[in-house]
Structure 1
Amino acid sequence: MHQRICFFVTLLCALCFGLSQPASAQTTLFDNADWQKLQQSNGDKTIANMQWINAQHPKFNKAVRMVSKQAMRHSYNIQFDIDIHQPIGKGDVLMLDGYIRLVQSKAESGEGLVQVQVQRNHKPYTKLLMMRLPLTNTQWRRVQVPFVSKQAYKAGQTNFCLCIGDYIQTLEAGGFTLTNLGKGVEIENLPSTERNRLMSYQGREPDAAWREVAAKNIEKIRKGDLKITVTDAAGKPISGATVDVQMTQHAFKFGTAVHSSIFDPDAKFWTSRPEDTQKYLQIVTDNFNMVTHETNLKWPRWIEPARRKAADKLIDWLMANDIALRGHAMVWPGWSHGKYPHVPQHIVEMTKDPANRDKVAQMVLEHITNIGQIYGDKVTTWDVINEPTLNYDLTRYLGGDDVFIDWFKAARKASPNARLVLNETTGGTVVSDKYFYSLIQKLVANNTPIDAVGFQSHFGQTSIGIPQFLELLDKYAALDLMVDISEFDIEGYDAKYRADYTRDFMTACFSHPAVDTFIVWGFWAQRHWRPERAMYDKDWNITPNGQAWQDLVKNKWWTHQTGKTNDCGSYQLRGFNGKYQITITTPNGQTVKQPLQLSRDGKTIVIKVND
């Protein structure tokens, strides 16, 4: 009996001790000593350098001085990094801690700028953490940031980077450590110097000045006056008739990306779940009036017969449901993004020989002509070029971005009625747009037939402030171009942040005359490249950011109004621009239905009711 009691006491103590321990053991990914293995990985030594210096700081005695001698196309063109030799699990909570300061900067603002990253160290360079930190003085600034890894990584697959290529500047950093705290750690309870900055954005305040201006602009440019007069067959006004004014479709393009595999008979994901397929398509028809063809119109996919067949089925379905089509994309001028090719492999092979340059240039033009002519007016908007800032292998092989002028000219000839767009990942984000803007200026100056720029607007942990974004829209609108929001999604700090930012970013866009298109990059978590950003979770429950979309597009910005004609037989209202179904019911019970389209110019219509 005594032995049994001792056994159970021992077992109970072991269980209690186990329950009191953290879910996972803490692991040091690099400490202050390892940190001094930091090395320069990007940037020629003539435009950047680093050296270790003595530092008088209570936390460290060595700091690295990093010098950028030239403002680069991308921040990461001058990069310093350290490899991480420990594995990182999905859901692990990590803590970055260190110090950084500005020594000098030649930026017009006088500020310094560093991009801090923890990332996969090979394509597609998935970011576990990415922050852009402005530095405004020479005092040491502590950087404490807890974050969660969304994926699992093997030992040696990740690194920590400091990227300083934005400005001509000198920065110093010291005492950096990275610790894996494991799972089951409440991130809200961890210290963070950046939490206040990361958990909000400029213009979020309920009384922010931009809101009143936006409301006035929306009233002015997104609505029109509608006057309906009801008469009998002889033209005599009918008073007391009930007029039901029901909006059926926005004039503004609210859209989503859709993968055409939904119409592929070999796509097991869809064929095995017919109820989800129907739900998905129903949400598209109920909520969106434009669809971006996500994958199968891209060059490498489109030349595969099965994929083109699925693409054509999606296009036929869109046409049958009165949904506009955005073609994406004629040319994506880099070789690949991870395992996803941007250019057909036979073209890539040809570029290994410089002698093939003219032949490859002609093949690109022939592809633009071919795909543009085949779909004709079915495509209302074409992304002619996709992400040229980050993807330029083909561009470089063909001698530089002057070739873009020829590509747009070929697209205009093949698709004379389509809006032609240069779509860019840096547009509308916190990433510098200096190359993109100078490229657009160049195209405009050379009379390139470009109609709009595409701001993809994929937002991670940080997002552009609303007033700053409105200034960015003004900047591109001044070039006499439209701005399409082409691939929006938002991660943000939490679900409320995602909802609030979706609401405010959409409102800013809807209020600006240069914007008439807003596309989300998917809406269902099961078929979304970043499931946490979706408008519906995997079980079809609407998320807070999905509800924010619904509240605006189908409620606040939607017109459905009913009233009665006055003694003159008239009924007036001010409604949002778009398509309508008007239903008239006379006092004696006769009913007449009539469609109409309302614009900001307004509309006056007489509807006759036969006796």
Structure 2
Amino acid sequence: MDRRQFLAASTGLLAGCAGHGVPNRPSTASDDDRATLDDFPAFDPEPTSDWSRPEDPPAWERAADERIERHRRSDVTVEVVRDGDPVSDAAVRLRLQHHAHDFSTAYNVARHRSSDPGSPYRRWVHRLFNEAVFENAYKWRQWTSPHEQEHAHAVIDFLHAHDVEVAGAPVVWQRDDTDALPSAVWDAHEADDEERLRSLIDEHVRSLVGHNDRAHDVTDWILLNEQLGHHVLTDELSDAPPTRAPPLRRWFDIARDAAPDATLAVNDYDVLTCDRSHHRDRYATLVTYLLGGDAPPDEVGFQAHVMGPNERVSAAEQRRRLDRFADLGDLDLVVSEFDTPGIDDEEAAGDYLYRFLKTAYSHPASAGFRLWGYWDEQHWKNDAPLFRADWSKKQGYHAYADLVFEQWFTDARGTTDDAGEFATTADLGRYALRVADGTNAISDVRAVTDPDGETRLRVEL
């Protein structure tokens, strides 16, 4: 879910609609309600003592923290009244339920189905992430199987039941050395049947995005994947360069028509890693071309597989590259596939995850950060960022949990003053709000979405 969708979904919450979570529900307050308000569901990411931040952070981190404070948090005042009059000494708790920013992972449908209901693979996905993208299930060849579709839909239900959004990827991926494309596409390609090939791709875009948007609430799609390196189909359908091929705009038009409110993204590699300036130039050319169409992309995705120590970039260089794409237009930026299989030392890999994630999150145009898996046994290089094969935690786990569930997590408690107000600072997102005095307790779901100015949440007891 990009920032546009989150803001739209949150409008109703701010107006008092229940949305996801706990609706307005007056009740008779118990002593525990008045004292601690501890009836919120607990979340413990289980940080451990072997991870600690330096007392004197480096310059890059101090600068990132300043940007995060400016772009990712809001001053919040909870105003409590009864019959229009302020209520003092009311107990207030404001606890984050769902970050406005996507913290995401790749998730494998086959692994899910082979795992027990209480397995760590199922348990950790909804404890650590608010979004998941299927590792393989939406690849075109797999999607042609009715059984694969049924399996994917069941996992979508599981994830949604645990408040995890589902993103789809990839819709169009022309890589010819994998089994991602069905045989009908290759048959049309080898027969030079352009009309058949165009029809197959058009219908695939329309059906995959449209069906899952309407029937399964999958509204975030990587529509075009790795176009810079894999463009065999667009080469057949157009004489234009792969960065300016007219079929690309057509596919965005079709997807937008099939799912008018969906988030559509373009995605490629070696932009936030390595030092391939020509490749970055070509990606900027591709994004600029797509922005000129009738259905421009909403997001730009950046794969960030670190395949060797020399592929790391500094925090300053990472920011410069993000700035370049943010300046191209009204776009959200998403780190779409992050891992570090090229960094052998786990401590160094965890440190890099910490720096890379904090730098990305601090950018005002950033909307999401996705780990490409989290467990060594379900990872394309058997070297996932968070967990070893036996589910013991890597340095990367502690870095990730410290950022997402400590530094960027709000669980504020207090009492209202004589004006009936409780003031705090909160990370942007969807909140469980509970207010109690000696008579009543109110539970509600509210959204904090604007980092500029003050967010006021009024509660009527």
TM-score by length of 2: 0.81
**In 1, distance between residues paired with 2:63 and 2:129?**
27
**In 2, distance between residues paired with 1:445 and 1:274?**
48
**In 1, distance between residues paired with 2:236 and 2:315?**
38
CA pair 263-287 structure 1, distance change in 2 beyond 3 A: closer
Give CA deviations for 1:401-456 in whole Å, capped at 9, x if unaligned. 31211111111111211111111122322152232222222222445521121101
CA displacement at 1:390 relative to structure 2: 2.1
Question: Where in structure 2 are the equivalents of 1:128-277 lying within 5 Å?
Answer: 208-232=58-82, 234-264=83-113, 270=114, 273-274=115-116
- Conservation of the 8 A alpha-carbon contact between 1:244 and 1:583: yes
Q: Find the residue that maps to 1:379 and give its secondary structure.
A: coil
Give CA deviations for 1:482-501 in whole Å, capped at 9, x if unaligned. 21111111132411111111
Corresponding position of 2:308: 461
Corresponding position of 2:223: 384
CA displacement at 1:292 relative to structure 2: 0.6
Corresponding position of 2:6: none
CA pair 504-205 structure 1, distance change in 2 beyond 3 A: farther
Percent identity, aligned pairs only, is 27
Give CA deviations for 1:115-161 in whole Å, capped at 9, x if unaligned. xxxxxxxxxxxxxxxxxxxxxxxxxxxxxxxxxxxxxxxxxxxxxxx
Matched, 1:297 2:138: yes
Equivalent of 2:191, from 326, 336, 353?
353
Corresponding position of 1:280: 121
**In 1, distance between residues paired with 2:269 and 2:166?**
20
TM-score by length of 1: 0.62
- Conservation of the 8 A alpha-carbon contact between 1:427 and 1:454: no
CA pair 534-365 structure 1, distance change in 2 beyond 3 A: same
Matched, 1:513 2:351: no
Corresponding position of 2:254: 410
**In 2, distance between residues paired with 1:358 and 1:311?**
31
Matched, 1:328 2:165: no
- One-letter amino acid of the counterpart of residue 189, structure 2: T
Higher relative contact order (CA 8 A, sep 6+): 2
CA displacement at 1:235 relative to structure 2: 2.8
**In 2, distance between residues paired with 1:306 and 1:427?**
36
- Conservation of the 8 A alpha-carbon contact between 2:338 and 2:372: yes
Q: Find the residue that maps to 2:291 and give its secondary structure.
A: helix
Q: Find the residue that maps to 1:389 and give its secondary structure.
A: coil
- Conservation of the 8 A alpha-carbon contact between 1:334 and 1:394: no
Equivalent of 1:471, from 299, 305, 320?
320
- Conservation of the 8 A alpha-carbon contact between 2:112 and 2:122: no
- One-letter amino acid of the counterpart of residue 141, structure 2: P
**In 2, distance between residues paired with 1:345 and 1:519?**
30
CA pair 457-315 structure 1, distance change in 2 beyond 3 A: same
Equivalent of 1:595, from 432, 442, 445?
445
Corresponding position of 1:100: none
Stretch deviating more after TM superposition (291-300 or 341-350) = 341-350
CA pair 553-406 structure 1, distance change in 2 beyond 3 A: same
Corresponding position of 2:410: 559
Equivalent of 2:203, from 346, 352, 366?
366
Instruction: Name the structure with the higher strand share.
Output: 1
**In 2, distance between residues paired with 1:395 and 1:238?**
65
**In 1, distance between residues paired with 2:259 and 2:109?**
22
CA displacement at 1:607 relative to structure 2: 1.6
- Conservation of the 8 A alpha-carbon contact between 2:209 and 2:258: yes
- Conservation of the 8 A alpha-carbon contact between 2:174 and 2:233: yes
Question: Where in structure 2 are the equivalents of 1:43-54 lying within 5 Å?
Answer: none
**In 1, distance between residues paired with 2:98 and 2:300?**
24
**In 2, distance between residues paired with 1:451 and 1:274?**
37
- Conservation of the 8 A alpha-carbon contact between 2:271 and 2:321: no
Corresponding position of 2:19: none
Give CA deviations for 1:174-233 in whole Å, capped at 9, x if unaligned. xxxxxxxxxxxxxxxxxxxxxxxxxxxxxx99764432322121111101121112223x
Question: Where in structure 2 are the equivalents of 1:494-505 lying within 5 Å?
Answer: 494-505=345-356
> 4+ runs of 1 displaced by more than 4 Å?
204-208
Q: Find the residue that maps to 2:78 and give its secondary structure.
A: strand
Equivalent of 2:381, from 519, 522, 530?
530
Corresponding position of 1:398: 237
Corresponding position of 1:33: none
**In 1, distance between residues paired with 2:157 and 2:206?**
21
Q: Find the residue that maps to 1:553 and give its secondary structure.
A: helix
**In 2, distance between residues paired with 1:524 and 1:274?**
16
**In 1, distance between residues paired with 2:58 and 2:320?**
15
- One-letter amino acid of the counterpart of residue 216, structure 1: E
Q: Find the residue that maps to 1:558 and give its secondary structure.
A: coil
Corresponding position of 1:441: 288
Structure 1 or 2, whichever has the larger Rg, is 1
- One-letter amino acid of the counterpart of residue 367, structure 2: D
CA displacement at 1:574 relative to structure 2: 0.9
CA pair 302-431 structure 1, distance change in 2 beyond 3 A: farther
Corresponding position of 2:18: none
CA displacement at 1:332 relative to structure 2: 0.5
- One-letter amino acid of the counterpart of residue 100, structure 2: A
Give CA deviations for 1:39-86 in whole Å, capped at 9, x if unaligned. xxxxxxxxxxxxxxxxxxxxxxxxxxxxxxxxxxxxxxxxxxxxxxxx
**In 2, distance between residues paired with 1:442 and 1:371?**
24
- Conservation of the 8 A alpha-carbon contact between 2:350 and 2:385: no
CA displacement at 1:253 relative to structure 2: 0.5
CA pair 280-434 structure 1, distance change in 2 beyond 3 A: same
CA displacement at 1:536 relative to structure 2: 1.2
Consecutive unaligned residues of structure 1, counting only runs of 5 or more, are 1-203, 265-269
Note the aligned Cα RMSD (angstroms): 2.0
- One-letter amino acid of the counterpart of residue 595, structure 1: V
